[in-house]
Structure 1
Amino acid sequence: MTPDKDPSTYGLITYLWVTGLAAWGGLVNFYRKVKSGETRAFNVVELIGEIATSAFAGLITFWLCEAAQFNPLVTAALVGISGHMGSQAIYQLERWAQTRLGKERP
């Protein structure tokens, strides 16, 4: 990551598109769960949880992509995918970090 980039140097518009795209992925995943019968359509608590988890996963993915200097279009695609994956994306990122840092999960 270049010295002029850290989480505090990105503007509000950047954070809005990142979290919005990831949350959209979470909304699509929630819709898939409703269609497959995994959840009810009016389960507001699960919907909010899905969107919040997706936004978090997308934000972490964005920062990792920025640190790796990925092309912005690739970053956008990965943010959307990780938003759709939600908690599974967080789990995969956790596993990647543990491997990268040489720490195994108990």
Structure 2
Amino acid sequence: MPEKDPTTYQLITYGWVIFLSCWGGLVSFINKVKKGEARACNFVELIGEIVTAGFAGVLTFWLCEAANFNALITAAIVGISGHMGSRAIYAMEIWLTNKLKNRSPL
């Protein structure tokens, strides 16, 4: 089996990852509209939510693949992180910061 890296996955895989994460972002936007936190006609906010969700989903996919998660678990986590959007990216940032702080110097 070839070594895992971002260039070895097929486009259909990335298509599904982006679709699931963006779907999560769309659901998040709809929930914000229902709560009155966003206006339904705010196209820029919708696009921002979807782009952020897609980015969070791709990062999550790579982390799940590196951890050898089951494909169905990975799909669910990708959708959830897409729904979380910037909160998921922030959580990854905190995790990485803590990981790097605990690393011993060379």
TM-score, normalization by structure 1: 0.93
Deviation readout 1:23-60 (Å, 9 max, x if unpaired): 00000000000001001101000000000000000000
In the alignment, which residue of structure 1 is the partner of 2:79? 80
Question: How many residues are matched?
Answer: 102
Question: What amino acid sits opposite 1:73 in the alignment?
Answer: L
Structure 2, gaps ≥5 residues long:
none
The Cα RMSD (Å) is: 1.2
In the alignment, which residue of structure 2 is the partner of 1:71? 70
Moved over 3 A (4+): none
Partners of 1:43 and 1:23 in 2: how far apart?
17
Partners of 2:64 and 2:27 in 1: how far apart?
22
Largest Rg, 1 or 2: 2
**1:1-106 to 2 correspondence within 5 Å?**
4-102=3-101
Q: CA deviation at 1:101?
A: 1.3
Structure 1, gaps ≥5 residues long:
none
Q: How many percent identity over aligned positions?
A: 66
TM-score, normalization by structure 2: 0.93
